[in-house]
């Protein structure tokens, strides 16, 4: 049946009018009040409009209070508030008011005279002296708005600046600081810039020993009497009456460190052991922290001038050791009546340790989108400062059991996993000499571990791994991790006839299990602006490089085995880019791009199984099960035996967009779109002596799984929504997703309507801890 569009549009207009009338607030406004509907500002000036834009935005921030919000012309928040004030508002009106309600803003709450005064003050601060600001009210019986007009004369601009100095040595330092000033001839007078300059000079002086200096001791004086064309000269000097102790530099006379200080102590008891290391005294009843290990983290020395930045970095470095809960550095003047040209300070460093030993137990209940579920447990033992040099030893044991809950041929399949891992973290570079990294403490990490995975009816997989490497922060945003030694040994045993048949039919899979020994190096670079909470548009970039087998090949003269084991050779790299657009308190739009590529060579025709890429699951394309995509358009879903196996490749591309928003208190919501897949870039080796069935399978895997020009049509695409419980950065996540494009369906049948088409596969539930990205 064809509907008349004119009729539909009329119905729509009537519905909108009905909704507007139903939510009209005019009847609730008290007789003696007028609802404030907002304010605007108009700026008139001879200056260019573009140059005035920041000034106009700044004046706009003074337009307070803000009128009640509107949606399609309706003041819903105010409407819910009024409805909740009824004698019997009902549960729904109470809830709507609590969630969305807004207190009314009346004209009686607005003070135009005060706002005009603030605007004039702000314009004076920006160089527009003798401006004029007026306001005009536009009102009816129930509603009123304000329009402010600011008339700006030509601003005062800087002609020249100079330091009004005398023979005091501090003026030489001020002169040096002003060599990098932002004050430039021709620039408009700006009070905020002058405040910034005072703070900058103060920072410079405190880095040159002026311990008692304060930015309030500096004054800028403007002189407009020399010119008649709205120009001024600027003079910088010290205020009269600046204390003598504030204009002399201080040197550090002594340094004392208390490595085992208790904040509950009112006074310091007489220590039984005092050790001197490079001019620093370490005071402790018994050796809690070795002085020779602690001394390199203290960046200032006896006889040096006081430097506030050095003191701050020292505090950061001592906190980063991981052994201390509190770090307190106190500087005390040795002679408060000093009238000399220099002063002296005693530096006391009080270090309060964390609890040395701790045990943490985690009970886990795991459910996966491939139908597996089961309990797990992990126990971690930590020993901080284990060798009295800031070292942290962590021992972690884990055990998990999973079983296939779905029916069919796979029912009853289960897996048992267990592992033990030891990590030793040393707050220095080993075996190199102690390094004075100024920003943060570089760390050496040594790891050893072993895991076992027993999958019923299939195989047992045992692995051992070890690594030796370094981590360090170059600055606030940049993080490096380098592991020059990374070794993994994987042993596949107890394979069943059923699993051997899978391997026989899949040359790619068999090849990925054959190389049991992996030895190489890996490096990760991360740039993370999320650590700065004030950034509205932070980015996150992480890239890694993993290279294996080259050193072994060199040492073994090109032989394909080492220690009697065939070793893998490959190069693998990936990049993860994220862009966050944040607004309001908790709303954000996040976009993410991921790309990874591994190239086998030498001994290897495929990447080892543990190094391959996969797609799908709660941290990937959420509309498909874990490892349920690829390679390419290939799918083994029709074969219940082989579909149990993970699908993977050596190339992965992925993109995600997610909109996050608050719902109520700790409950957050999200809408998302995910797209991605994995592919093969090398053809699967085909053995002509194999059975026709095996040859056909491998040819199919090559044809459907190889990356090509049609890769966009081979993306798995899904949409969905999620609920998250976010309690102080601990996030429990529930995501519901449905496929939009299914790559392994026949050409022409890949697109489908999410949440409606696809039968039992139209909804995938993901439960996870933490955000996906």
Between CA 688 and CA 700 the distance in angstroms is 15
Quick one: pLDDT at residue 636?
A: 67
Of 607, 590, 497, 489, whose CA–CA distance to 546 is shortest? 607
Residue 129 pLDDT > 60: yes
Query: Using 50, 70 and 90 to split pLDDT, how confident is the model at 349?
Result: very high
**Average pLDDT over the chain, rounded to whole?**
86
649-655 average pLDDT score: 95
Quick one: pLDDT at residue 560?
A: 72
Q: How many Cα atoms are found within 13 Å in the side-chain-facing hemisphere of 67?
A: 18
Tokens standing for residue 721 = 């929504």
Quick one: pLDDT at residue 677?
A: 96
Quick one: pLDDT at residue 410?
A: 55
The per-residue DSSP string of 14-44 comes to: HHHHHHHHHT--GGGS-TT--EEEEEEEEEE
Quick one: pLDDT at residue 48?
A: 74
Strands (E), 259-391: 274-277, 280-283, 324-333, 343-353, 357-367, 372-384
Quick one: pLDDT at residue 682?
A: 83
Residues 80, 104 contacting (CB under 8 angstroms): no
Quick one: pLDDT at residue 551?
A: 82
Query: Using 50, 70 and 90 to split pLDDT, how confident is the model at 3?
Result: very low
Radius of gyration of the chain from Cα atoms?
A: 35
Residue 768 pLDDT > 90: no
Of residues 400 and 576, more confidence is placed in 576
Of 129, 18, 122, 33, whose CA–CA distance to 78 is shortest? 33
Q: CA angle, corner 27, sides to 25 and 32, nearest 5?
A: 105
579-586 average pLDDT score: 88
Residue 341 pLDDT > 80: yes
Residue 647 pLDDT > 60: yes
Q: CA angle, corner 424, sides to 421 and 426, nearest 5?
A: 160
Q: Which of 3-7, 115-119, 239-243, 513-517 has the lowest mean pLDDT?
A: 3-7
Between CA 550 and CA 558 the distance in angstroms is 9
Burial annotation 324-342 (CB, 10 A radius, 16+ → b, else e): beebebeeebeeeeeeeee
What share of the chain in percent tops pLDDT 90?
53
Of 125, 154, 130, whose CA–CA distance to 220 is shortest? 125
Residues 331, 306 contacting (CB under 8 angstroms): yes
Residue 17 pLDDT > 80: no
Dihedral of the alpha carbons of 636, 642, 643, 649, in degrees to the nearest 10: -70
Query: Using 50, 70 and 90 to split pLDDT, how confident is the model at 452?
Result: very high
Each residue's pLDDT tens digit, 490-501: 888 888 888 888
663-684 average pLDDT score: 90
Query: Using 50, 70 and 90 to split pLDDT, how confident is the model at 457?
Result: confident
Q: CA angle, corner 703, sides to 700 and 704, nearest 5?
A: 80
**pTM of the prediction?**
0.76
Residue 411 pLDDT > 50: yes
Residue 164 pLDDT > 70: yes
Of 147, 119, 136, 135, whose CA–CA distance to 56 is shortest? 119
Strands (E), 478-586: 478-493, 517-528, 539-548, 561-562, 565-566, 570-583
Q: Is 45 helix (H, G, I), strand (E, B) or coil?
A: strand
Quick one: pLDDT at residue 459?
A: 87
Residues 572, 546 contacting (CB under 8 angstroms): yes
């Amino acid at each position: 049946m064809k509907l008349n569009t004119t009729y539909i549009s009329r119905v729509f207009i009537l519905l909108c009018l009905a909704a507007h009338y139903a939510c009209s607030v005019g009847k609730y406004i008290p007789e003696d009040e007028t609802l404030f509907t907002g304010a605007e500002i108009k700026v008139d000036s001879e200056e260019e409009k573009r140059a005035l834009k920041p000034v106009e935005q700044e004046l706009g921030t003074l337009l307070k209070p803000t009128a009640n919000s509107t949606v399609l012309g309706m003041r819903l928040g105010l409407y819910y508030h009024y409805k909740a004030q009824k004698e019997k508002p009902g549960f729904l009106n109470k809830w709507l008011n609590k969630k969305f309600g807004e207190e009314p803003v009346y004209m009686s709450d607005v003070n135009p005279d005060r706002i005009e005064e603030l605007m004039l003050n702000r314009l004076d601060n920006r160089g527009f002296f003798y401006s004029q600001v007026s306001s005009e009210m536009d009102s009816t019986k129930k509603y009123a708005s304000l329009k402010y007009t600011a008339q700006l004369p030509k601003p005062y601009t800087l002609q020249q600046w100079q330091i009004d100095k005398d023979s005091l040595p501090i003026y030489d330092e001020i002169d040096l600081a002003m060599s990098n000033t932002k004050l430039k001839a021709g620039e408009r007078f700006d009070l905020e810039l002058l405040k910034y300059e005072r703070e900058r000079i103060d920072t410079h002086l405190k880095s040159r020993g002026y311990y008692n200096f304060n930015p309030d001791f500096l004054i800028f004086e403007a002189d407009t009497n020399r010119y008649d064309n709205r120009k001024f000269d600027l003079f910088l000097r010290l205020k009269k009456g600046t204390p003598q102790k504030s204009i002399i530099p201080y040197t550090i006379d002594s340094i004392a460190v208390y490595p085992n200080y208790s904040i509950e102590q009112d006074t310091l008891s007489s220590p039984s052991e005092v050790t001197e290391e490079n001019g620093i005294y370490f005071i402790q009843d018994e050796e809690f922290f070795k002085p020779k290990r602690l001394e390199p983290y203290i960046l200032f020395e006896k006889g040096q001038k006081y430097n506030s930045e050095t003191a701050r970095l020292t505090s950061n470095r001592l906190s980063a050791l991981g052994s201390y809960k509190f770090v307190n550095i106190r500087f005390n003047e040795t002679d408060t009546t000093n009238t000399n040209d220099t002063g002296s300070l005693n530096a006391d460093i009080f270090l309060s340790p964390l609890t040395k030993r701790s045990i943490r137990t985690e009970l886990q209940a795991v459910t996966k989108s491939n139908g597996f579920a089961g309990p797990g447990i992990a126990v971690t033992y930590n020993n901080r400062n284990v060798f009295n040099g800031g070292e942290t030893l962590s021992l972690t044991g884990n055990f998990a059991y999973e079983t296939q809950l779905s029916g069919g041929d796979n029912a009853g399949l289960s897996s048992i996993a267990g592992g033990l891992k030891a990590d030793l973290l040393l707050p220095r570079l080993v075996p190199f000499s102690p390094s004075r990294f100024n920003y943060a403490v570089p760390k050496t990490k040594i790891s050893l571990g072993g895991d076992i995975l027993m999958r019923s009816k299939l195989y047992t997989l045992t692995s051992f791994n070890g690594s030796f490497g370094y981590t360090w922060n170059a600055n606030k945003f940049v993080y490096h991790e380098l592991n020059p030694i990374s070794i993994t040994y994987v042993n596949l045993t107890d394979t069943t006839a059923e699993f051997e048949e899978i391997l026989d039919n899949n040359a790619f899979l068999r090849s990925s299990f054959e190389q049991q020994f992996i030895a190489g190096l890996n490096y990760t670079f991360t740039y993370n602006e999320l650590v700065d909470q004030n950034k509205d548009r932070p980015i996150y970039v992480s890239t890694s490089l993993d290279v294996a087998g080259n050193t072994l090949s060199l040492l073994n003269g090109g032989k394909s085995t080492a220690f009697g084991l065939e070793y893998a050779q490959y190069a693998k790299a990936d990049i993860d880019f994220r862009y966050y657009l944040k607004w309001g308190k908790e709303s954000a739009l996040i976009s993410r791009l991921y790309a990874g590529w591994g190239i086998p060579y030498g001994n290897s025709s495929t990447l080892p199984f543990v190094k391959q890429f996969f797609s799908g699951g709660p941290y990937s394309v959420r509309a498909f099960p874990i490892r349920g995509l690829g390679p390419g358009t290939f799918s083994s879903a029709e074969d219940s035996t082989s579909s149990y196996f993970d699908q993977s490749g050596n190339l992965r591309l992925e993109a995600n967009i997610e909109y996050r928003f608050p719902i109520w208190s700790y409950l957050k919501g999200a809408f998302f779109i995910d797209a991605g897949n994995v592919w093969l870039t090398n053809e699967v080796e085909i053995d002509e002596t194999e059975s026709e069935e095996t040859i056909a399978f491998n040819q199919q895997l090559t044809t459907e799984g190889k990356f090509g020009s049609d890769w966009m049509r081979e993306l798995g695409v899904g949409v969905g929504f999620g609920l998250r419980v976010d309690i102080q950065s601990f996030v429990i996540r529930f995501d519901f997703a449905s496929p939009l494009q299914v790559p392994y369906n026949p050409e022409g049948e890949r697109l489908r309507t999410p949440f409606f088409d696809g039968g039992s596969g139209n909804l995938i539930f993901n439960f996870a801890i933490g955000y996906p990205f």
